[in-house]
Structure formats: C-alpha cells, structure tokens
A and B are shown apart, each in its own frame.
Chain A
Amino acid sequence: MHEETRKVELIIGKILRIGVVTSAIVILIGMGLYFMSGSGYPAGEFPRRFSAIAAGLSQGKSYSVIMLGVFLLILTPVLRVVVSIYAFYKEKDTLYVVITTIVLVILMFAMFMGYRS
C-alpha cells in the first residue's frame, strides 16, 4: 500500500473520531443535566424540530441537549462519506471521487426526503 494512502486513512480516522466523540460528549452532558434538573419538558414530551431544539438549548433543557447529540451522531456517517471523497481525491483516484460523490448526493437526497416527511 502507498504511504500516502495510509496517511490519508489515518487522517480520516482522526476526523471520524472527533465527530463521534463530540456527539458522545454532547449526549453525556445532556444526561448529566437530566439527572440534575429533569427533562425540562412535560412528561412524555420532547423536542424534535430544529426550532424547538434550539429554543430548548438556549434554556439549557436536558432533552434538547440530548437530541442535539443524537442528531450529531446521525451526521457521523455523512462525515464519513465526505472525508472519503477527500481521501480518494488525495489519492488522485478520479473514479472513486465520482462513485463516492454519487453516494453523498443520494444520501443527501434521502436525508432531505426524511426531513420533509
């Protein structure tokens, strides 16, 4: 294997780790807040739209912090695809830059459909 390839893979690994660790820390902070001050919402309710989550965050509500962390976790696979495109670009592998970009476009389309539904 090329030295360059390995180096790029290790960089991708680092970026992915930052993404996963960030989402885990946000979730853990949310859990900590939950044990200190409850959910911040009436029983059985929790925020799920960005506007509601943002409003809850500004008031330090634990469920909003958790939902932010969960959403960051959902974004980690997207991050993986994005950095893979960069990796193939660094390897000058045009075929796989194209293939991975197609994956990203399909994924963004599907996520957008999910947001609209």
Chain B
Amino acid sequence: MNSMLLLLVMGVGAGVLGAILGIGGGMIITPVLTIMMGLDIKYAIGASIISVIATSSGSTIAYLKDDMLNLRVAMFLEIATTVGAIMGALLVGMFSSNFLYILFGFFLLYSSYNMIRKLMDKKGEAVFTGHDPIVDKFKLSSTYYDKAEQKQIDYSMKNVPGGFIMMWAAGLASGLLGIGSGAFKVIAMDTIMKMPLKPSSATSNLMMGVTAAASATVYFFNGSIRPDIAAPLAIGVLVGATIGARLMQVMKPRIIRMIFIPIILYMGVQMALKGFGVNI
C-alpha cells in the first residue's frame, strides 16, 4: 500500500516534468525504483516504458486540443525514429554499448552547451520564419498560441535532413541501449531544426509514445511489466502529464529551457560515465 502510494506520487512528478519538457521520465523513475526501492533493473525498465507512454498519451490530449503540437513534423520524423529503433533492436550486441553511451553522453553535453549559449544570447527565443525548400514541400511550418506571451506565433524551420538523421540516431539509441529518446527528439527539433521550444516539446511528447509502443510490447510479453508497479505509476503519470501539459503552456520558453538544461547535462554526465564503467 505504501509503495503503491509512493509510485503514484512519483508518477505525478514524472508526468508533470515529462509533459513540460517532452521527455519520458525514465531517468527519474529508473534510479528511484532500483536504488530507493531495490527493484530489479528489468522491472524498472518495464515501469519506465509505461511511464513514457502515459506521459505521451496524457499530455497529447491537451496539446492537441490547444493546437500546440505539429502533427506533420511528428509523423514525418517518426519514420526516422521507428526505423532507427527497429535497426537498433536488431543490431543489439553488434556494437560496444560503452562506446555508444560515451558518444550519446558527449552529444548531450554538447547540446547543453548549445542551449546555454542560446539562453545567454540576446536574441533569445527568436523564432525562425524563413523559407526552406524541404519545409515547404512537406508543409512543416505551422503556428501556435503562446499563452505566456499572449500572442500567436508563426514558425518555420530548417535543417530538416539533419533533424531526420538525429531522430534516426535517437531511435537507434533507444533500440540499442533501451534508453528513452525524448531528450534527443527535443534537441533535434529545437537545436537542429530551429523549431520553437514549446511545439518541440509538445511534438516530442506525441512522438515518444509511438516510439515506445513497440518496445513496450516486448516488455509486456516478456514479463518486465509488473501490474503492482505499472498500475499506480500509470495512473500517477497520466494525472501528472495532464497537469504538466497545462502548466507548460503558461510558462515562458526561457524558463522551460532553464529546467531542460540541467536535466540533459545530468543525463549526459550519467551516460558518459556509464560508458567508462561508472554507474551513478
């Protein structure tokens, strides 16, 4: 009963944070379950994949209703992610996972450096509205209403091939290493494709559930998803994600970025160290 209550509360927290940032919350849930509750890593991964799906589904309802996400960008890039994830799952064991952890870890560190620079930049959250042939061909530019700034924001993007490759790599990482790829998705849209942060996060939220659904079936049928853990966690995360998706819309993009940076910094350090054989 107590542990169920704890899972429920943790789920709400992970759901709020995940919905705001467009990340799955596995990085919070896995260590709490394994270190604090002494749970086998197998069940912790099963639990975090359920949390990813619940965050995604809970927040997407609100983001769709408020027209915050970009469905075309999501489906276009989802091809890259799902293909990457399947390739990753098929190639497990053929690459050194240490090398991959170091590679993705340093990429996250580099991304946090980029994001800090953007935070310091006087132009700040300036929106890219220029033209790009691929963006026009695939009708990717869109608009959203920013409740914090109380104005309609039209946006475009660029570097679509770069974003596509990044999404493929994010899928590959999730297939090979069993890690979530929400952070990489946000970076692909925000940093590489120059999409505004809010639709990037909302779109990442929509995508990560679709990417996770495939691996969730694996975990479901191989017995990694325990009902006594998944049930309270799923309910908590659904509630949290619903709250988070509303909170995010009234937050200033700059504030969201300030929360995002320490989290990818932490993830980057954690992954790089894991690659060198140090677990924190």
A residues neighboring B (CB under 8 Å): 1, 6, 9-10, 12-13, 16-17, 19-20, 23-24, 27-28, 30-31, 34-35, 39, 46, 48-49, 62-63, 66-67, 69-71, 73-78, 80-81, 84, 87, 93, 95-96, 99-100, 102-103, 106-107, 109-111, 113-115, 117
Size category, B interface: 35 or more
Q: Given that A80-B206, A95-B138 are known contacts, is A110 also in contact with B85, CB under 8 Å in the complex? A: yes
Extra inter-chain contacts (6) besides given A75-B213, A76-B53, A84-B71, CB under 8 Å = A34-B228, A48-B222, A77-B212, A95-B139, A103-B75, A115-B217
Out of B64, B85, B143, B234, name the residue touching A27 (CB < 8 Å). Answer: B234
Q: Given that A76-B57, A77-B209, A103-B75 are known contacts, is A110 also in contact with B216, CB under 8 Å in the complex? A: no
**When the two chains form their complex, are residues B61 and A13 in contact, meaning their CB atoms are under 8 A apart?**
yes
Closest B residue to A1 by beta carbon equals B143
**When the two chains form their complex, are residues A70 and B50 in contact, meaning their CB atoms are under 8 A apart?**
yes
* Chain B residues in 8 Å Cβ range of A103: 75, 78-79, 82, 210
Q: Given that A28-B235, A48-B223 are known contacts, is A102 also in contact with B213, CB under 8 Å in the complex? A: no
Closest A residue to B219 by beta carbon equals A114
Main SS class of interface, A? helix
B residues neighboring A (CB under 8 Å): 1, 4, 50, 53-54, 56-58, 60-61, 64-65, 67, 71-72, 75-76, 78-79, 82-83, 85-86, 89, 138-139, 143, 206, 209-210, 212-218, 220-223, 225-228, 230-232, 234-235, 238
Q: Given that A13-B64, A76-B53 are known contacts, is A107 also in contact with B209, CB under 8 Å in the complex? A: no
